[in-house]
Every structure is written in structure tokens, then in C-alpha cells.
């Protein structure tokens, strides 16, 4: 593999050699650029750069790390007519994403109630491997959820009327077709709506520690010392099974079309194929499932606040600031070599970061840029950023999605005692509720990159602006 060349203090590049069709561009300061060489992130990005129909460049965000075939933190765009769709470039947890819910509380007002609040939230939002939330959803209603998204749930009492205005795709990606989803996926998903799952998924009560850009923060409804709630989860077993099902189908597709892959995990279908249509219809169903999952969790969070403070959620200002996906493929319009083109943008562990001029973002945020919600690791800060118009041409309107792992889960369990993380959380005064002691080690801060490094890198690369920094008060995990 060719050497990484410096483009600027926050941008690095691998020029095309061999079968590469486009360069690989890495975003990050020098520390991140050096650390990203330690696993297979860059070799996976180089493999991705050989895929048919890839346009302009393969992007690796500063939180990038090795994934299944395609690096987590990777962004690739493919020509809408002559390109491909790759499940591995989207991920198994389709529409894993983040939602931020505001309150009108100052931290000091509720400081003493944080333990009780965390108890109520932990009770109301099931978490952990195989967690279930039996809300009486029939198979037919599950299909409606997957095709109609969050609005179907709001119509049935789960949420505020204006919630969908603050969700990417308004909480429903068009083109979903539940008939393209297997019965096994539906069985796995039926009782998982409204659950966090395990791994790096979490619910966190946070305090806005500092406002970094006053005008945008005010437009987003953020203020110093405000209490907010962040949720990170995806499509659970429903989306995982869809990805597994279609990867199996793609094996047959590769053989039938005599396709040779740079990596067996980078299987794909051409955009104009029947197989692509079927996968996209199923993927969009999982996208809508995930938006709906976070919608039910939002309702349960509001309920937890109501139980704790004996007030209505509406009176506590519990509006959704925004909800963003970070494992998804979407047909979008971007500027390539000075002209607009329709592209299938694959984001795997990367967040859409559209600038102020894009019509796809809520009217309230036009002129400010789309909110980009970046969680840290357990016990560290999280951020709200805003998208920039320059990102459309630079990174296909994309930014980072979190801290990014530096250790595998198994390595973290071996090397980081749970007691070390528990001691760190206690010293910081963070209430935590975790169902699995093993997870405490998996999600320790030492298993992740420094989130401050990550967000300063996308700001330095001018693809996102820093808006606000939040610190945890309480965290609930599987």
C-alpha cells in the first residue's frame, strides 16, 4: 500500500495505485493519522476504493477503525446508474443512530434527583443482549412500522406530534417494502422495539458543559448547564438479520455474475439489478424500524422524567433536537468536479452533516446547518456539531459518528478490569446502570479514541462546526 501523504493538518491521502479507482482520504490530526495505521482500516479502505462505480474518493473519518469488510467510519459514494450497493459498506446494525432530547432543566435544579431518574429510566427502557419490550405489536403492525416509520407510532400515542420534523428522513425512508424482509427478521424484531440492546448502545443523561458556537446553539435550543438526554441504538435483531440474509443471497449473485472481490466481505450488487432493489427495500424497512425504536425509547424516557418529577414531559421542554442515522445508504445529490450528480452514498459509522443550504434538513435549522450528534465513550464528553456546505464537495456531506474504537471488545475485556471503569465513573460522580459487568470493560474509555481529538479533526477539516460539549450525569447500558 502506498504511503499516506499529508494534504493539510487534518487531511491525509493515499493516492491510487494498482486496482484503486479513487484515492483514499483520511480526516484527522497527526495523532489520529498515526493511530489509524495500527489495524486493517486503511487496507479495507483501499479495497473499497476498487469497487465499481465509486466516485471521487473513499473517505475515512477520524473515528475510523477496522470493520466487516468496509471500515467503520467509512464513506463511499457510487454512481446511481453504474455503481453498486454493498451491505458491508452499510453495516449489520442498519440505521444505528443517535437521538438527542432536550429539557428545560438546569443541572442544579435536578442534581439530587439524578439517582432516582436513572432508576426510572433503567426500568422503563430495556437493555442488554436479547432485551425485549412487549408492547403488544402484531406482525401486521410491525410491517406498518417498517413501511411508515415513526409517524405510525406517533399516531398511536408514542410521541409528540412534531417529533418527526426533527428526525432524518422525517422518521420514514420512502421505498421500504416489508415483503422483502424475511420471517426470521420479523420474528427477531417483533418484541425488540423500544429496547437499547447491548454493546456500545446506551441512554445517557447529560449536562451541557459549554457552548462553543452561540448562534447555532441558540437555534438548536441549547444553553449552558442544560440537562439533555442522548440515545444511541439501532435496528436490533431485525436489521442484523436483514443484513445476514442479503449477504447470503449476494454470494449466489457473485457466482452467477462471475464477480471477483478484493475482500469476500465486500460483496455487492449493481444498482440497476433486481437484487439491489430488493436489498434497498429491506434496508429501508430496517431504517424505519430503527427510527421507530428510538421513537418508543423517547416516549419511555419522557415517562421516566414524568415519574421522577411529577410533571408532564411537555412542561419539561422534552423536544427532540435531532435524530441522525450513521449506518445507511441513501440516494443523494452532491457536487463532484463542479457538477451535481446523483449518488448512492454509503455511510458506515459516519453521520450525514448537511450544510445550511440543504433542503433535506428541518426548516428550523436552515441557515444553521444540520445537527450532527457525536457520542463519546462511557464516562467521556459528547458533542453537538453542525454541518457545513463545504462537506458536500469534500466528504459527500458526511462527518464522524463517535469516538471510534482502539481496542477490540475481547482485548478490552482482557486488559481493562471492570473495577477500573467503575472507579473512574465514581470519581466523576456519574450514576451508571449496567446489566453486564463484562460490558463495563468492553466500553471503557481506554478502549476508544479521544473524542476531543476526533471532533476537533472534523472541525479542522471544515466538514463540521463545533456547537456544544456535553458531559455525562448518568448512563444506562446493556
Catalytic residue, chosen from 201, 232, 401, 410, is 401
Same domain, 338 and 322: no
Q: What is the pLDDT of residues 217-226, one digit of tens each?
A: 999 999 999 9
Which of 365, 389, 424 lies at the terminal end of a domain, its last residue? 365
Q: What are phi and psi of 19, to 5 degrees?
A: -90, 0
Q: What is the pLDDT of residues 257-311, one digit of tens each?
A: 999 999 999 999 999 999 999 999 999 999 999 999 999 999 999 999 999 999 9
Same domain, 15 and 149: no
Same domain, 436 and 423: yes
Same domain, 142 and 126: yes
Q: Which domain holds residue 206?
A: 97-329+369-477
Q: Mean pLDDT across the chain, nearest whole number?
A: 95
Which of 365, 384, 412 lies at the terminal end of a domain, its last residue? 365
User: Which residues, in sequence order, are CB contacts of 339 under 8 Å at separation 6+?
Assistant: none
Same domain, 410 and 459: yes
Same domain, 297 and 228: yes
Domain count, the chain: 2
Task: Give the separation between CA 51 and CA 334, rounded to whole angstroms.
Answer: 19
| Tally of residues, the chain | 478
Rounded mean pLDDT, 449-466: 97
Task: Band the pLDDT of 2: cuts 50, 70, 90.
Answer: low
Q: Give one DSSP letter per residue of 386-441, joined into a string.
A: EE-THHHHHHSSEE--S--BSS-HHHHHHHS-HHHHHHHHHHTT-EEEES-HHHHH
Q: What is the pLDDT of residues 205-242, one digit of tens each?
A: 999 999 999 999 999 999 999 999 999 999 999 999 99
The pLDDT value given to residue 137: 85
The percent of residues in the chain predicted with pLDDT above 90, rounded, is: 90
The pLDDT value given to residue 202: 94
Task: Band the pLDDT of 171: cuts 50, 70, 90.
Answer: very high
Does residue 331 have a pLDDT over 90? yes
Does residue 1 have a pLDDT over 80? no
CATH of the domain at 235: 3.90.1860.10
Rounded mean pLDDT, 348-368: 97
The pLDDT value given to residue 199: 84
The answer to whether 130 and 254 have CB atoms below 8 angstroms apart is no
Same domain, 80 and 149: no
Same domain, 129 and 187: yes
Same domain, 235 and 176: yes
Task: Give the separation between CA 476 and CA 126, rounded to whole angstroms.
Answer: 10
Q: What is the pLDDT of residues 404-439, one digit of tens each?
A: 999 988 999 999 999 999 999 999 999 999 887 778
Same domain, 106 and 35: no
Same domain, 429 and 439: yes
Same domain, 81 and 168: no
Task: Band the pLDDT of 121: cuts 50, 70, 90.
Answer: very high
Q: What is the pLDDT of residues 16-44, one digit of tens each?
A: 999 999 999 999 999 999 999 999 999 99
Which of 365, 390, 417 lies at the terminal end of a domain, its last residue? 365
Is 326 in the active site? no
Amino acid at each position: 500500500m502506498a504511503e499516506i501523504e499529508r494534504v493539510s493538518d487534518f487531511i491525509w491521502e493515499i493516492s491510487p495505485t494498482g486496482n484503486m479507482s479513487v484515492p483514499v482520504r483520511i480526516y484527522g490530526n497527526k495523532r489520529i493519522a498515526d493511530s489509524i495505521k495500527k489495524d486493517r482500516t486503511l487496507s479495507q479502505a483501499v479495497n473499497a476504493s476498487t469497487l465499481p462505480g465509486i466516485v471521487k474518493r473513499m473517505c475515512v473519518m477520524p473515528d475510523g477503525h477496522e470493520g466487516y469488510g468496509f471500515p467503520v467510519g467509512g464513506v463511499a459514494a457510487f454512481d446511481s446508474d453504474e455503481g453498486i450497493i454493498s451491505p458491508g459498506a452499510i453495516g449489520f446494525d442498519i440505521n444505528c443512530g443517535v437521538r438527542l432530547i432536550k429539557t428545560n432543566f438546569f443541572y442544579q435544579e435536578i442534581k439530587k434527583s439524578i439517582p432516582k431518574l436513572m432508576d426510572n429510566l433503567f426500568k422503563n427502557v430495556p437493555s442488554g443482549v436479547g432485551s425485549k419490550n412487549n408492547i403488544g405489536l402484531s406482525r401486521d403492525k410491525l410491517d406498518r412500522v417498517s413501511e411508515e416509520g415513526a409517524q405510525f407510532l406517533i399516531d398511536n400515542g408514542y410521541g409528540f406530534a412534531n417529533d418527526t420534523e426533527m428526525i432524518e428522513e422525517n422518521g420514514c425512508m420512502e421505498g421500504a417494502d416489508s415483503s422483502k424482509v424475511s420471517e426470521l427478521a420479523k420474528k427477531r424484531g417483533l418484541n425488540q422495539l423500544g429496547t437499547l440492546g447491548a454493546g456500545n448502545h446506551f441512554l445517557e443523561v447529560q449536562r451541557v458543559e459549554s457552548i462553543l458556537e452561540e448562534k447555532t446553539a441558540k437555534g438548536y435550543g441549547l444553553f449552558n448547564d442544560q440537562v439533555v438526554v442522548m440515545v444511541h441504538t439501532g435496528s436490533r435483531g431485525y436489521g442484523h438479520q436483514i443484513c445476514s440474509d442479503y449477504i447470503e443471497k449476494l454470494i449466489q449473485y457473485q457466482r452467477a455474475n462471475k464477480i471477483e472481490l478484493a475482500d469476500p466481505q465486500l460483496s455487492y450488487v449493481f444498482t440497476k439489478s433486481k437484487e439491489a432493489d430488493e436489498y434497498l427495500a429491506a434496508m429501508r424497512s430496517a431504517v424505519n424500524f430503527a427510527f421507530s425504536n428510538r421513537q418508543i425509547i423517547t416516549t419511555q424516557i419522557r415517562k421516566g422524567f414524568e415519574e421522577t418529577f411529577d410533571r408532564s414531559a411537555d412542561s419539561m421542554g422534552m423536544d427532540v433536537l435531532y435524530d441522525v442515522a450513521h449506518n445507511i445508504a441513501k440516494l443523494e445529490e452532491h457536487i463532484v468536479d463542479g457538477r451535481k450528480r446523483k449518488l448512492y452514498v454509503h455511510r458506515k459509522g459516519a453521520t450525514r452533516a448537511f450544510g445550511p443550504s440543504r433542503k433535506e434538513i428541518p426548516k428550523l435549522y436552515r441557515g444553521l446547518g444540520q445537527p450532527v450528534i457525536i457520542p463519546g465513550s462511557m464516562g467521556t464528553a459528547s458533542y453537538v456539531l453542525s454541518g457545513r456546505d463545504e462537506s458536500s464537495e469534500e466528504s459527500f456531506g458526511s462527518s464522524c459518528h463517535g469516538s471510534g474504537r482502539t481496542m477490540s471488545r475481547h482485548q478490552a475485556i482482557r486488559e481493562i478490569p471492570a473495577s477500573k471503569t467503575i472507579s473512574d465513573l465514581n470519581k466523576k460522580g456519574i450514576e451508571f446502570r449496567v446489566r453486564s459487568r463484562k460490558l463495563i470493560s468492553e466500553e471503557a474509555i481506554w478502549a476508544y479514541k479521544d473524542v476531543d481529538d476526533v471532533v476537533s479533526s472534523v472541525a479542522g477539516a471544515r466538514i463540521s462546526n463545533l456547537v456544544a460539549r456535553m458531559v455525562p450525569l448518568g448512563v444506562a447500558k446493556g
